[in-house]
Amino acid sequence: MSDRKNTPLSGYQRKDGRTGIRNLVAVVYLVECAHHVARQIAHPTSAHSHIIGFPGCFPNEYAQTMLERLCTHPNTGAVLLVSLGCESFNRHKLEKVIADSGRPVKTLVIQANGGTRSTIAAGQAWVADAVARLARTPKVPMKISDLVVATVCGGSDGTSGISGNPAVGHAFDRLVAAGATCIFEETGELIGCEEIMASRAATPALAEELRASVHKAARYYATLGYGSFAAGNAEGGLTTIEEKSMGAYAKSGQSRISGLIKPGDVPPRGGLYLMDVVPDGEVRFGFPNISDNAEIVEMMASGAHMTLFVTGRGSVVGSALGPVIKIAANPQMYERLREDMDINAGRIMTGAASIAAIGTEIYDQVLAVAAGATTKSEELGHFEFILTYKSFDPIGPSCLPV
């Protein structure tokens, strides 16, 4: 670990001033009908090209914004758009946004390109050339304050809130103190913690926004008749949503909360931010259909370079475009899933390590991954991606106080 701590940070400079820790080709399907072709295009270079996309024929503003943000994410170096040809996604607008960002971009339309085999061949040739060109991209020095780090927990159990989550909170406090941007989310898992968060808000107006975001989540869950509490959580020893909330809240650490954002909003400066992932407007079915990977995507759309993923029950997912660092909260689960876990926070439970010691280990791992070390999920080829329908109102000035 000492070698990793001493590794200087460097990354890939982007036109907008941000710096990426990876330099990947995004292969983007614009409708489910193009998914297979996109997957075959990316397969030969899957370590360097990741598949993302939108499954429906009729995207909304949210879907358009998500793909625009992801295609211009700091970790994205080039983009291949794969269109069937008759879907409603505005591929021309998306291509222009990418081109304006300074990234190489190409659009292939299956209906105009001869069909499946012809499009796969053309796409593979373009991606192979893009990967070769990106490999020659010079790296520039990078500071900790350039990093955007997100956190999520999935498959929580009774140990998550007293080992892995508070250890992430400790790492977040160190990152924020060093000028980095940190994002925590899932307001539906923070029900009952709104007043504690409000007491940490940078301004009274922001405190009201934090309260309102959690109240909105509670109303959403009550209307749909279920919440962020699964059978696996109960089997793992959790008893109430409040207990789960306190554990999830521990990931945020103790730093002042600098703002509230929604998916796709890029924090303007370093600090700690809450992401409100619950849609605005009338309650509609389809959310909350809890998906860790969908939330990772939303935080990446707000610029997160990587995600700290705490799990007590066990999870084997990763993410397209951004590395996922897996943190095992439970020592027995860590032993069962060692090949998928990056950090064993279960040592807190056995008395072998303190929260601060594991928090420091997580902090060091963040710097190592930013410097180029691969995570277990990257090594295993886990590049999951989910994009659905949501609708959000713009945030107001009180959400991002100066």
* Nearest partner of 323 among 290, 300, 346, judged by Cα: 300
Provide mean pLDDT across the span 114-133: 98
Residue type, 371: A
pLDDT exceeds cutoff 60 at 91: yes
- The per-residue pLDDT for range 341-358, each reduced to its tens digit, is 999 999 998 999 999 999
d(CA 168, CA 161): 10
Residue with tokens 């008749």: 225
Q: How far apart are CA 358 and CA 119, in angstroms?
A: 48
DSSP 8-state assignment for residue 202: S
Report the length, in residues, of the chain: 402
Q: What is the largest CA-CA distance in the chain?
A: 63
Percent of the chain with pLDDT over 90: 80
304 within 8 A of 148, measured Cβ to Cβ: yes
**Sign, CA torsion 195/402/144/302:** positive
Strands of 257-261's sheet in order across: 257-261, 271-275, 181-184, 148-153, 306-311, 324-328, 343-344
- Average pLDDT in the chain: 92
CB 322 within 8 A of CB 307: yes
Q: Which residue did the predictor score with more confidence, 2 or 135?
A: 135
17 CB contacts (<8 Å, ≥6 apart)? none
Q: Which of 261, 327, 343 lies closest to 299 in space, CA to CA?
A: 261
The predicted pLDDT at position 332 comes to 93
The type of residue at 183 is I
Residues in a beta bridge with 12? 20
Task: Supply 343's token pair.
Answer: 């950090």
Whole-number Å distance between alpha carbons of 191 and 241: 7
Give the integer Cα–Cα distance in Å for 278 and 187. 7
**For position 388, what pLDDT does the model report?**
87
Task: State the burial class of residue 356 (Cβ atoms within 10 Å of its Cβ: 0-12, 13-18, 19+).
Answer: middle
Q: What is the pLDDT of residue 3?
A: 41
State percent of the chain over pLDDT 70.
91
* Predicted pLDDT at 1: 39
pLDDT band for position 312 (50/70/90)? confident
Two tokens, residue 234: 């109960």
d(CA 323, CA 377) in angstroms, rounded, equals: 8
What the block records as the tokens of 261 is 């954002």
What is the Cβ-side half-sphere exposure of residue 207, based on CA atoms within 13 angstroms?
10
How many CB atoms lie under 10 A from the CB of residue 173?
A: 18
Contact predicate 385/319, CB 8 Å: yes
Give the whole-angstrom CA distance, residue 153 versus residue 161: 10
For the beta sheet containing 24-29, the strands, ordered from the edge strand earlier in sequence to the opposite edge, are 49-53, 24-29, 76-83, 105-109
pLDDT band at 238 (very low <50, low <70, confident <90, very high): low
- Low-confidence winner among 85-99, 132-146, 149-163, 244-258 (lowest mean pLDDT): 149-163
Q: What is the per-residue pLDDT across 11-65, written as a single tens digit (0 to 9) for each?
A: 999 999 999 999 999 999 999 999 999 999 999 999 999 999 999 999 999 999 9
Q: Higher model confidence: residue 312 or residue 126?
A: 126
pTM for the model stands at: 0.94
Exposure class string for 104-127: b at 16+ Cβ within 10 A, else e: bbbbbbbeebeeeeebbebbbebb
HEC states along 217-269? Answer: HHHHHHHHCCCCCCHHHHHCCCCCHHHHHHHHHHHHCCCCEEEEECCCCCCCC
Does the structure show a pLDDT above 50 at 4? no
Question: pLDDT at position 2, please?
Answer: 37
